[in-house]
Structure formats: structure tokens, C-alpha cells
Structure 1
């Protein structure tokens, strides 16, 4: 099988496609032959940090079950699945833990499924964490990204009274309007317009405080980026505003039944035509270009690699 070997210290060739022996599933593991794998900001951060170990990074994938380890129940060879694996995801075959993958409906393409199994799950769960209610207004940062463009669509599908998309550059305006945004603002603008009830921040840094400033009284900001950021708590007091930290990982570990409920909701919304995952796809051997799209923040929707 083909597999990407990561060499972040090698500036000239940080990625190399190697031939490797397919892994063998141990007890409690699935072997999945991948169709597509996702490229994320987490991979870019790993490369910037120069981190590389014996195993490659993990991430999202969609594929078909090729073999079952001892003790695995609820899956069969040939099942189509999607989810997260912990290491060596950039390969034609990967090892997965049953608790971290889910069945993919036959009507959903591999690319659409990849966008939904993680990015859609994060977007929907962040909305729920912000206690979003029908009729409220929502502002989404990184609105053209893998999770952001789905958050814009989900807010509209679930009855938002107004959806504002915040993006890094004005050339993304048509794309996010096509996702259902009522208004588009850029990070460089002095004002993001009328205050909103909920902000979903997938960027971090200075935009966390910008998001708090964009909230109306009793508003809630959900921070789900690994980008950090600080907030002037004095600015929360008078307006009774809240900042809520969110990570899908803790919910996945402690409330797997909730994860399945939300994935079922995503499949239903997609089947009804309410969610239209966007993606930019490249073959596995063009991973450097895919990483460049993420690093330059020029992607529209999810970035993924076809593995076969």
C-alpha cells in the first residue's frame, strides 16, 4: 500500500510517498481501506513545529472495512465507515477503533461524508454548546473553512434569524453567501455590524475578543479553535456575556450515544438537501499542495486527498 512519510525537517521534501505493508488489526481494531482522508490545520501546526515520530499523524478518513480484529462487533467486512483514526491516516489502509468510526449511508459520497463525520459534527455540536435557539442570530468565524461553511448552513437550517459569515478576505464572500450567509464581514473591518446572539469562533487569537465584542447582552461565544486567545473579562460583566470552551474529543469519549444522535441528525439534514458539504480534492501524492491550501487559508470548504 502507499503511505505518506512525514519529514518536516526536510524543507525540500517534507512528504514522501512510500510503499509499506498494510497493517494487521489487533484485538478491538478495524482495518479500513481508505477512499479519502482529510487535511487539517492540525497537520499544518505539526509540520510547523517540526514534529514527526515513527507513526504519522491521525485525522479523518472514509473507507471500507477490510478486516476485523478479535472481539470487534457491529461491523462487517465491506461496511462503509467514516471517522477519526489516531495515527498514520495518510495511507491506503489504516487501523481504526470501532468507537471512533460510524457507518456512512450509501447515498453519501466519500467526500461529503468526510466533511460531515468530523467538521459537521464539530459545527453542530458547537451550535448546541452555545445554546442556540431558533430565531437567534449567529456569527461564524473561519466561515469558508471545513467546519465553518457547515456551521453557516446548519445555523440557517435550524432556524437562525440572521447568519453572519466572518472571513479573512472579501474574495470568499460569494462562497459563504452560497452557503446561506445573510451578511459577510472580513476580519479587517472595524465593525462586524449589528450584535448577534451566538458567535462560533474557529480561529482564536485576537478574534476571540472581537467575537465577544460582537455579542449582544446575554450572548454566548463558543471557542473551538486550538488557536488560543484572551478575553477581557470586564467586557463580559455588563452584558452578561459568556465564553464557552468546546472540544468534540471529550464528548466523543464520555457521551458516544450523543455523538451518534448528532451524526444521525447530520445525515438526515444532508438527505433532505439542507447541508451541502463543499470540498477541494487532490490525489494523495499532491499532499504538499493540499497543505499549502490550508496554510494559506485559501481553501473553500474541506480539503481532502483521494487515496485510490
Structure 2
């Protein structure tokens, strides 16, 4: 595929799975800020991200039981292709009856939201503030915090126009980045980075914990943590996918249960591939609510 406001489809040979690889026929693929930046830079072969599809072939060393399974997860390149190569460690089978777009939002965004809450050592009855709260991951973090017993969930966003959406997701309060955030909180989940990392640390109550999971960088003055015994932790699923697959599998099982129980309600906008340019414009203008999903078929 070549990207422009109207992407062009390029015919290529169907890839063959090597050792330890699955070949998946793609049904849906996600679209987020990181992918938009790579699309605009022309780095099409590096477009990794989440997808949902059906296993079409397996490497010689993998079980044929994978064939025909409906799966979702993350691939490292060319996610906007009819067929993609994946490794089993980053793929999970989708339970029967789960909507494909719901599954796509959960397999990555849900896993990250679950992971940052677990990493924060969140306990029922605590208060949580989430930046980037209307994003594909952020809106699920809002829902998960409520489902797991948060006393108060504050959603922080760039625009007050996202308030109704976030209240529907379960937020008790919605604040913008340019206004006061209110009373100190026990946990901050930062999905934006930059200056908001320090601001999040400043918003913590004594013994509060901030988990940063954005690629946006940012810095914290260590001195600002001392008096309140505050902590700041980074989070990414990359290391866990190499060292703690058992932990990720348990988190996924919890997510599917919450989805089945209606406690997790993924929000998404699905666009056909030929309208990819519209999705890019939505993300660049920060107008997207929930996850943007691209239908490949």
C-alpha cells in the first residue's frame, strides 16, 4: 500500500511463514497516532500494530491446530496488508461470539490498560486520574478502573467536547489539560507524556503512584516525589511478552471475562481501507473517540 489521502493498493506476493511464524489473513487493523506518524513519513514497511484475522498457514515448527483460528494481537510490520506474519507470543485466540472490532480494541488497548492498572498496584476504593482518556487505551482504562472498584475516576483530555463520551465510559469527572485537576489522587495513568508526566506526579496524593505508558517522553523532578513518598513507573508489554507470557495470558482471560459480562464496552469507529485518509485526519486533529479501526476486506 502507498499512503496518500486516497491510499493505493499494491499487489505483492503472499508471504510464507518461516519458523515460529503464523500467516494471518487480516480482517481489521488499528490506527493510532504512532502509525499516523509513520504513514506520513512513508515508513510503510515498518507499520506494526494490532490486527484481527484468521490463521491461514503456519511455520513448519508450529502446530497445525492454529489453522483456521480467529485471532488478534500485534504484528511488527505491514499491518495494512491482506496477509501478515505474526509470532504466537503476541497473538491470542478470540473467544467465539466476540465482535471483531471489539476484539481488536481489547487485544492491545485493553491489555495495556489492564497492565498499567496492575503495575500501579491499584486497589479498590482508590482514586485514579487518566490522561489521554478518550484514546483507544484510555477509554478502556476508565472502564477498567470503575469495574475494579475505583472510588473516583477522573478523565483528563485535550478538549471538553470529549466529556460526554467519557462520562458514558464511566468517568466521574472530566478535566482538560489547561484547567485545575482537583483533589490529589492515589493513581495517575499517563498516556500522553511530555509536560503531563510532571503534572501527573504533582497530582498524586502521599504514597501515590504514577505509571507512564506513552511514547511521548517527558521528565519528572525526583525532588518533587520525596516528601509525599510518591513513585513513578514505566510500562510496556514488550518485555512481558518475552518473559512473562503466563501473566499476559491471565490478563487476557480477565479482559475476555469483563467483556462478556458487559463491564468492558470498547468504543470504536470502523472505516474501510479506502477511507484511511479520513482516519488519519481524525487522529491528527485529536477528534477521535475510542479506537479507529480499518477494515481490510
Pairing 1:196–2:193 present: no
Mapping for residues 2-81 of structure 1, pairs under 5 Å:
4-6=1-3, 15-47=7-39, 50=41, 52=43, 55-73=45-63, 75-81=65-71
Pairing 1:137–2:134 present: no
Moved more, 24-33 or 160-169: 24-33
Pairing 1:219–2:208 present: yes
Dislocated runs of 4+, deviation >3 Å: 12-15
**Residue of structure 2 equivalent to 1:289:** 278
Q: Unmatched 5+ residue regions in structure 2?
A: none
Separation of aligned partners in 1, 2:65 and 2:94: 12
Shift in Å, 1:74: 6.9
CA contact (8 A) 2:200 2:210 kept: yes
Shift in Å, 1:56: 4.1
CA RMSD between the two structures: 1.5
TM-score (structure 2 length as normaliser):
0.96
CA contact (8 A) 1:143 1:167 kept: yes
1:86-122 deviation digits (Å, cap 9, x = unpaired): 1111011111111110100112111000000000000
Shift in Å, 1:151: 0.1
Mapping for residues 88-107 of structure 1, pairs under 5 Å:
88-107=78-97
Shift in Å, 1:30: 1.1
Separation of aligned partners in 2, 1:74 and 1:221: 43
CA contact (8 A) 2:28 2:104 kept: yes
Separation of aligned partners in 2, 1:211 and 1:75: 46
Separation of aligned partners in 1, 2:172 and 2:29: 31
1:125-182 deviation digits (Å, cap 9, x = unpaired): 0001111011000000111000000000000000001100001100000000000000
Separation of aligned partners in 2, 1:143 and 1:13: 27
Separation of aligned partners in 1, 2:218 and 2:123: 26
Secondary structure of 1:46's aligned partner: helix
TM-score (structure 1 length as normaliser):
0.93
Pairing 1:120–2:117 present: no
1:229-258 deviation digits (Å, cap 9, x = unpaired): 111222111111111111111111111111
Moved more, 211-220 or 147-156: 211-220
Task: Note closer, same or farther for the CA distance 1:165–1:23 as it changes in structure 2 (3 Å cut).
Answer: same
Separation of aligned partners in 2, 1:226 and 1:298: 19
Separation of aligned partners in 1, 2:159 and 2:207: 29
Secondary structure of 1:275's aligned partner: coil
Shift in Å, 1:14: 8.3
Q: Unmatched 5+ residue regions in structure 1?
A: 7-11
**Residue of structure 1 equivalent to 2:167:** 177
**Residue of structure 2 equivalent to 1:261:** 250
**Residue of structure 2 equivalent to 1:9:** none
